[in-house]
Amino acid sequence: MAGPTFQALPGFRDFTPSECAVRNYLFETWRGVARRCGYVEYETPVLEDTGLYLKKSGGELSSQLFRFEDQGGRDVTLRPEVTASLARLIAQHQRDFPKPLKWFEIGQCFRYEKPQKGRGREFHQFNVDIFGEAGPAADAELIALAIETMLAFGFEAGDFVVRVSDRMAWIDFAAANGIAEESIPEFLGIIDKIEREKPEVLAQKLAAFSLTPEGVRAFIADPANASAAYLAIREDLAARGFADFVELDLSIVRGLAYYTGVVFEVFDSKKSMRAVAGGGRYDTLISTISEGAVDLPATGFAMGDYVIRNLIEETAHAAMQMEVWLQRNSAACDVFVVVADDSKRAESLKLVTDLRRAGISADLPLAPAKVGKQFQRAEQSGARFALVVGAEYPELKLKILASRTEETGTAENAVEWITDRIHQPDGPLLA
């Protein structure tokens, strides 16, 4: 027997029910944290005018785009990230909302990269942004949300750290070291790769600015170089009880050209120091995207689904919390109706319908089957209860599958009875 012909494209995922449940755990946790922190949800299109991305990123992402010409001859691109669309949306609609705006989106993004562990050609991203507040309180509020997100996934102190930096510190450094303004992007690009670059290449690149790796490293290591914004953020987060989760790290500048101030990354502190999320201030992007029509300060961050999932699975207490959620949400139904006497099929259909209407998840076999087979199916469905409809109808039996105990009731008040029963714990019932 030949295998199926078609496969998902490389780097694209099929979410079978068990994988989809993990996805839903991530989405529900993200959505829950964002709402608790006063952010409202929006969504932008997955396909956009390519110019939007070229304008925003200065071409950095252009080699990774799913870019094509549509049937109307438009140059279009599957979004590699959400911020460009968001900046467009905000520029168009910001007048309708009081400031500051606190918005979030959970959306899929697409990049043509080599698929590998922890990276696909599509991924889901949790994007959170604050518009209309230029002060460090907005950055602190955003970093607090990043910390709340990690805590909501069950991570604890010691599992992760938020490393905060400020491009303004580097702008000051550049000025003090005679680096021309137009060379700053290039200079920041060197800083961005300082830990990954070969020593001799690094030395050579810095020499072009009359700098040495030692001099730059000394600047990074000196806490006196923290910006005023960083100090304000730290004080704000300390008031929230989050001091232990934050540290200064001037080596972080973030690759993308559009960041203008405070930048930060959330790191897995246990294992490989992977960045789980990152973001920062981008006060000029909306003006750039809108060609000067709208000018609004902004700060935002994003967390992808690949790295956070891996980190959850590698961290015992976070993995356990996810497992408990998945267990609780894995049942296809709560009540599985066993049609013990097929002449009672019509009655069984009515019962299932009444239960569903009352908000109870209920199912039944679609074809006649032996009672033992139906109970097996009930177990497989993950149902807590099997409701047995047999020759003694309207008398019904409700079997609690975990404890293998049972109760008896009647069809007339089945909905009230089972609704009531479902809110009680399992276990052998007193007679």
Among 26, 30, 81, 110, binds a copy of itself (CB under 8 A): 110
C-beta closer to a copy of itself: residue 240 or 270? 240
User: Does 356 interact with a copy of itself (rule: CB under 8 A)?
Assistant: yes
Among 26, 82, 89, 308, binds a copy of itself (CB under 8 A): 89
First to last CA, the chain: 56
Three-state DSSP class for 390? coil
Q: Which of residues 147-176 bind a copy of itself (CB under 8 A)?
A: 148, 151
| C-alpha 42, offset from chain centre | 14
Q: 101: exposed, middle or buried (C-beta count within 10 Å: 0-12, 13-18, 19+)?
A: buried
Single out the segment in contact with a copy of itself by CB under 8 A; choices: 95-103, 261-269, 300-308, 388-396. Answer: 95-103
Yes or no: say if 126 and 149 are a contact pair by the CB < 8 Å rule: yes
User: Does 54 interact with a copy of itself (rule: CB under 8 A)?
Assistant: no
User: Does 230 interact with a copy of itself (rule: CB under 8 A)?
Assistant: no
User: Does 393 interact with a copy of itself (rule: CB under 8 A)?
Assistant: no
User: Does 179 interact with a copy of itself (rule: CB under 8 A)?
Assistant: no
Q: 63: exposed, middle or buried (C-beta count within 10 Å: 0-12, 13-18, 19+)?
A: exposed
Among 58, 112, 213, 231, binds a copy of itself (CB under 8 A): 112
C-beta closer to a copy of itself: residue 170 or 264? 264
C-beta closer to a copy of itself: residue 88 or 309? 88
Kind and range of the H or E run holding 262: strand 262-268
Write down the least CB distance from residue 338 to a copy of itself, Å: 14
C-beta closer to a copy of itself: residue 251 or 284? 284
| C-alpha 356, offset from chain centre | 31
Three-state DSSP class for 141? helix
Yes or no: say if 363 and 383 are a contact pair by the CB < 8 Å rule: yes
Among 25, 103, 230, 301, binds a copy of itself (CB under 8 A): 103
Secondary structure string (H, E, C) spanning 288-312: HHCCCCCCCCEEEEEEEHHHHHHHH
Single out the segment in contact with a copy of itself by CB under 8 A; choices: 15-23, 169-177, 311-319, 411-419. Answer: 15-23
C-beta closer to a copy of itself: residue 48 or 268? 48
